[in-house]
Amino acid sequence: MIKGLLGKKLGMMTYFDETGKAISVSAVEVGPCYVTQIKTKETDGYFAIQIGYDMIVKEKNLNKPITGHLKKHNLPLLKYFKEIRYSNPSEEFKINIGNEFKIDIFKEGEFIDVTGNTKGKGFQGVVKRHGFKGGPSSHGSMQHRKVGSVGATSPQGTIKGTKMAGHMGNKQLTVQNLKIIKIFSEKNIMLVKGAIPGAENNTIFIRKAIKKSAK
């Protein structure tokens, strides 16, 4: 079975579960995804499956290499791709190019991990970016939201990776162990408890949780 699918974040809403509890959920559109390439040890040096997501109508919105790659196997025009690595695919591993995978590989009550890019926040100081405390605001203090010390006199120089101001957000983040509350299979939408990275329409990768499974 395939490990995960590509999808889209739609936004958040409130959902009442069967016990009457109001929970905040993220609505996620998942799939349908198509297998676009299968990489094997002989041809590529490793085992992997490439899946594509988000059908588009106009051919002019894709570049020629991708269009050629898809047309080789008569696949629909897809926008986003993701490779899923397999360390040791067994003999029963029966996935072929052109196979379609839908939301029904997930079940209600299962746990998932969601990977996506966070919202970009631009150039930010250390208080927002790393949660530094900052200095006192009054009593003659002239250090309000400054960094403070960036190192000792010995070793000389600044150690690599020291937390400083800089670009924040717009980088990959995985949120683990999110529970699937509800699946609307004919709409390809599922409701996931809690927040997921990125803004609306953000492309995300959803896989079964590595660390947690349904009881």
**For binding to another protein (CB under 8 A), which residues are involved?**
10-16, 20, 22, 27, 29, 184, 187, 189, 200-201
Strand order in the sheet with 33-39: 78-85, 48-55, 33-39, 100-101
Our CB check for another protein shows the closer of 20 and 161 to be: 20
The tokens describing 146, both together, are: 């400054």
| Closer to another protein by Cβ: residue 23 or 66 | 23
Torsion angles phi and psi, residue 61, rounded to 5 = -85, 0
Considering beta carbons, is residue 107 or 187 the nearer one to another protein?
187
Minimal distance, residue 173 CB to another protein, in Å: 20
Minimum CB distance to another protein, residue 17 (Å) = 10
The least distance separating another protein from the CB of residue 8, rounded to whole angstroms, comes to 9
Rounded CA-CA distance 173/115 in Å is 6
- In angstroms, rounded to a whole number, what is the distance separating the alpha carbons of residues 214 and 120? 33
Which of 115, 122, 124, 130 shows the shortest CA–CA distance to 197? 115
Please provide the DSSP assignment of 28-42 as one string.
EEE--EEEEEEE-HH
Closest approach of another protein to the CB of residue 78, in Å: 19
Which tokens sit at 133?
């405390």
Least distance from another protein to the Cβ atom of residue 192, Å: 13
Name which of 29 and 54 has its Cβ closer to another protein: 29
Give the residue with the Cβ less far from another protein, 165 or 189: 189
Shortest Å distance, C-beta 11 to another protein: 4
DSSP 105: G
Tokens of residue 4, six digits: 């995960």
Sequence letter at residue 95 = I
Q: Which is nearer to another protein, 27 or 75 (CB)?
A: 27
Tokens linked to 132: 């530094």
| Residue 209 Cα distances to 96, 119, 132, 176, angstroms | 24, 23, 32, 7
